[in-house]
Amino acid sequence: MRVALFGAAGNVGRALQPALEAAGHDVIGFDLRRGEVDFSDAEAAIDFTTPEAAPGNVRAALEQDVPSIVGTTGFDLTPLAELARERGVQLFHAANFAIGAVLMMRFAAEAAAYMPRAEIVELHNETKRDAPSGTAKATAALIPGETAIHSVRLPGLVAHQEVLLGGDGQLLTIRHDTFTREAFAPGVLLAVERLRKLPAGLTVGLETLLA
């Protein structure tokens, strides 16, 4: 498939492009700032940029009826979801494309049914702009009641999350660590393969693509 990749030179983009190419996709690094506005060749668009750039990038792709995958977090997807629905185009977003993180969220939701209190600690590289992370917010949404989120931003970290579930005399810790950005590639590849079979409008979460 011919794929327009916004953010190809970024941390995630640099890991993603070779993985997409190894899977047989033809990747075009796309940047509206360079005046690249013609999507006529692209069969899918992927955005891993910034919360400021992503809305304009994805809007431009959807307006040319290109199904889109959004990895960028920290902005409101509602206007893009409406646009995708109006145009009958697929839009997919996952707060975390790492399969282990999806399992962490699933196990945390399951455990929260039996443990009375939970708090989340999310740890990311200092360059991550938004806090709390999209993954932490999505995890909290799966846990009943108020779930406090603690955000750590330090050099050396990539993306890590602990869900601490406390009960009388016991603590259950569910932890996921992303050590390199290659961790996101299989999830993005799965989304690329499934994108055109999704219903028009917004689909959220890698778990929706897993059997």
Site of interaction with ligand NAP (CB under 6 A) = 6-7, 9-13, 31-33, 48-50, 53, 57, 71-74, 94-97, 128, 184
Residue facing ligand NAP at closest CB distance:
10
Closest separation in Å from C-beta 117 to ligand NAP: 27
Q: Going by DSSP bridges, is the β-strand pair 148-154/159-167 parallel, antiparallel, or unpaired?
A: unpaired
Instruction: Rank residues 25 and 48 by Cβ distance to ligand NAP and give the closer one.
Output: 48
Q: Which residue among 124, 137, 150, 176 is the active-site one?
A: 124
Lookup result for tokens 């891993």:
48
Task: Report the phi/psi class of residue 127: left, alpha or beta, with left for phi > 0 and alpha for psi in -120 to 50.
Answer: alpha
Nearer CB in complex with ligand NAP: 87/153? 153
Closer residue to ligand NAP, CB minimum distance, 94 or 209:
94
Q: Is 137 tagged catalytic?
A: no
Residue pair 188/71 in contact (Cβ under 8 Å)? The answer is yes
The answer to whether the CB of 69 falls within 8 A of the CB of 89 is no
Nearer to ligand NAP, 10 or 67 (CB): 10
Min dist. Cβ of residue 167 to ligand NAP (A): 31
Contact criterion met (CB below 8 Å) for 41 and 66 = no
Min dist. Cβ of residue 145 to ligand NAP (A): 26
Structure tokens at 172: 């259950």
Minimum separation from the CB atom of position 147 to ligand NAP (A): 20
Closest to ligand NAP by CB, 77 or 84:
77
Catalytic residue among 25, 93, 128, 160: 128
Provide, rounded to whole angstroms, the least separation between the CB of residue 41 and ligand NAP. Answer: 17
| Number of other residues whose CB lies within 10 A of the CB of residue 169 | 5
Closest CA to 58 of 24, 89, 25: 89
Q: Which two tokens stand for residue 209?
A: 């693509």
Q: How far is CA 83 from CA 27, 68, 80, 139, 201, in A?
A: 25, 12, 5, 27, 8
Cis peptide before 132 (omega within 30 of 0): yes
- The verdict on whether 128 is a catalytic residue reads yes
Catalytic center residues: 124, 128
